[in-house]
Amino acid sequence: MREDLTERLGRIVHAEGEFWRYGGTHWEAIPDHELRLPVHAYDGAGFLTPAGEPSNVKLTKTRVDSVLHECAALCAEPGYFEKPPAGINCASGFIRFDAEGVPHLEAHHREHRCRHTLPGHWQPGASGTPPAGSLLAKLLAGSFKGDPDAEAKCALLAEVCGAAALGYATRLMQPRAVVLHGKTAENGKSQVLELARGLLPESAICSVPASKMGDERHVIGLVGKLLNASDELSAEAIASDTFKAVVTGDPSRGATSTRAGSSSAPWRRTSSRRTSCRASRAAWTGACSAACC
């Protein structure tokens, strides 16, 4: 079965409870039905018993699950996505930064170990300043109009979005969450959240409120994401130890239903330990009003 998958799809990696294949620009999880259907081809296949007598394979759900379970062991690379090179995987290629912070564009490659491709294009020499009259320029100028530190606030938002695009949030020396605070409505909080979400593909985004991070069924949704952007916030939730662990990328317990090819334990993480989960590389952004802070 492993040989069949490799012949059809190229190198297969099993990590974080999923089988992964490289799709040309990034690694993608193989849908469950695409794993199970090839096993069906062996239903009725002939073989010899240990006694030398002919027999036929009779597949059942349990036997298909067993095949995929052992295939997962043969393809296992638990830490494959833990330490990818720093860079932004976009439609144009992989943007890598040298020691001086100068960006260079490389062709997509499986060893970049990216699981998402940003929809935007970039070429060396492109300006980092929003074009005059653009909606982005209008949003930034309008949100901080009259603030003496408007330029610094715009630079900070750019850094936040950059950390999410790089998948570098929990890899910073001092990881931080971002809370957008506004005393009144219609002051740009929701628009900034939409801006951050729009930067990334849907597969890289989740919305797990801080109040749900203590729930094992919800925190598992952070695994493998680049951005967790939530419109809900409470002072009690962001003061919790669980919230701190999520922001810093420390191991947190999270439950997920098992499936064929997954570990039989209901806990998982993005490192080699199977008993917890890590909200790996996800930048956290939330919006709140004065009443919440």
What is the percent of the chain with per-residue pLDDT over 90, rounded to a whole number? 31
| Ranges 71-80, 170-179, 279-288: which has the least confidence | 279-288
C-alpha to C-alpha distances, 245 to 18, 28, 168, 236, 280, nearest whole angstrom: 24, 27, 16, 15, 11
**Secondary structure (3-state) at 81:** coil
Domain of 52, in residue numbers: 2-74
| Ranges 32-46, 121-135, 164-178, 236-250: which has the least confidence | 236-250
Query: For 157-178, how does the pLDDT look when each residue is reduced to its tens digit (9 = 90+)?
Result: 898 899 899 988 878 888 888 8
Q: Are residues 141 and 221 in the same domain?
A: yes
Query: For 178-203, how does the pLDDT look when each residue is reduced to its tens digit (9 = 90+)?
Result: 888 777 777 778 888 888 899 999 99
- What's the whole-model pTM score? 0.77
Rounded CA-CA distance 30/11 in Å is 12
Q: Are residues 153 and 272 in the same domain?
A: yes
Within a domain: 81: no
Q: Does 251 have pLDDT greater than 50?
A: yes
Within a domain: 80: no
Rounded CA-CA distance 270/278 in Å is 6
Average pLDDT over residues 198-216: 85
Q: What is the pLDDT of residue 115?
A: 95
Q: Are residues 161 and 59 in the same domain?
A: no
Domain containing residue 150: CATH number: 3.40.50
Q: What is the pLDDT of residue 182?
A: 75
Q: Are residues 56 and 137 in the same domain?
A: no
25 Rama sector, left if φ>0, alpha if ψ -120 to 50, beta otherwise: alpha
First to last CA, the chain: 55
Residue 87: beta bridge partners? 96
Within a domain: 113: no
Residue 292: pLDDT band (50, 70, 90) is very low
Q: Which residue has the higher pLDDT, 251 or 199?
A: 199
Count of the separate structural domains present in the chain: 2
Query: For 56-70, how does the pLDDT look when each residue is reduced to its tens digit (9 = 90+)?
Result: 778 899 999 999 999
User: Which strands sit side by side in the sheet containing 178-182, from one edge to the other?
Assistant: 178-182, 283-289, 227-230, 205-206
Q: Are residues 160 and 281 in the same domain?
A: yes
Query: For 92-102, how does the pLDDT look when each residue is reduced to its tens digit (9 = 90+)?
Result: 999 998 888 88
Report which secondary-structure segment, H or E, holds 94: strand 93-97
Q: Are residues 154 and 281 in the same domain?
A: yes
Closest C-alpha among 142, 134, 80, 135 to residue 280: 80
Domain boundary among 58, 74, 90: 74
- The CA-based angle 61-30-93, given to 5 degrees, is 175
Decide if 190 contacts 285 (C-beta within 8 A).
no
Residue 176: other Cβ atoms inside 10 A = 13
Within a domain: 85: no
Length of the chain in residues, anyone?
Answer: 293
**Secondary structure (3-state) at 246:** helix
Within a domain: 148: yes
Q: What is the pLDDT of residue 2?
A: 92
| Token pair for 185 | 């409505």
Decide if 90 contacts 108 (C-beta within 8 A).
no
45-60: burial string, b at 16+ Cβ within 10 Å, e else: eeeeeeeeeeeeeebe
Decide if 230 contacts 210 (C-beta within 8 A).
yes
Domain boundary among 43, 74, 105: 74
Within a domain: 91: no
Q: Does 286 have pLDDT greater than 90?
A: no
